[in-house]
Amino acid sequence: MSDDFKRVESRDCPMSTCAAPAGSPCRTGKGRVAIQYHTARFRLVPSLKKALNVPTPAVRKPGAAWTELPRPANANAEPTGHARLGYARASTARQSLDSQLDSLTEAGVTRIFSEKISTRATTRPELDKAVVLAGELRASGVRVTIVVHEHKRLGRGIELAALAENLKAGDIGLEFLTGELQGSHDPSGVVFTVLAALSGMEREYIRDRTLEGHESARKRGKTIGGAGVVDDHMLSMALHLRDQEMSLRDIAAQLVITKGKKKGEHPSPATVMRMLREHDERPTAADT
């Protein structure tokens, strides 16, 4: 599940008709959890400024009755302590972690997460555990720094930038014991700012290339994604159910595909969201 919603919910919603406080999802005028966050709110997050929408995750129960959730710990509050969590990684099982572990121990780190896994791996379980623990400690009011021997142990390029952006949102610091970025870096510092900017540029590039590819495919009469399962009746029914403020998951469960290989099945919530978004973005007679 994406962490975008956490970044959005770190701020109050500026929409007067919503005014959801930090820590809570956006709400509709009828007191329901909104299917997606209000544009004015998610655009407060630099990396999401050019996003078309930010869906509300299932954990927030879109379409359910809205209730105020606890506010996150005040990042501006004076920390009550300082936790230093270490992370060490080697790319192959034959590589030794000893030098990294020794340097982390000498740096005063008391809790170390380590693993032998390739940089190309999409998930790194021990790093994920370190980040989760860091977030829990920070939420309790403790100042937290993740300490690594060298920045390459965390990842390269977009991976490192995305991780730094995630840590910045959680007000978690980074410290590198050696290498080009050696030193301690505060979440509000220049290193985090640069890495977050690189992450935003990479996301925008990928998004633009994807949209260009979709447009090129459409010109050639090719079907994009799940669009082939959509028909006018399904769209009409989906719009009606959305007016009832049902969640995407519940809307999908009410619809049935009437053609193609998936005939008789329900469309996915992602297909429903794409169908509704394309309808909303379609020019109306008043626009032409």
Residue type at 99? S
Rg (C-alpha) for the chain, rounded Å, is 22
Of 91, 199, 216, 236, the active-site residue reads 91
**Identity of the amino acid at 183:** G
Looking at residue 161, what DSSP letter applies? H
CA angle 226, 52, 241 (to 5 degrees): 55
Q: Are 211 and 174 in contact (CB under 8 A)?
A: no
Which tokens is 265 given? 């099945």
221: left (phi over 0), alpha (psi -120 to 50) or beta: left
Two tokens, residue 206? 């990928």
Active site residue 216: no
What positions carry a catalytic annotation? 91
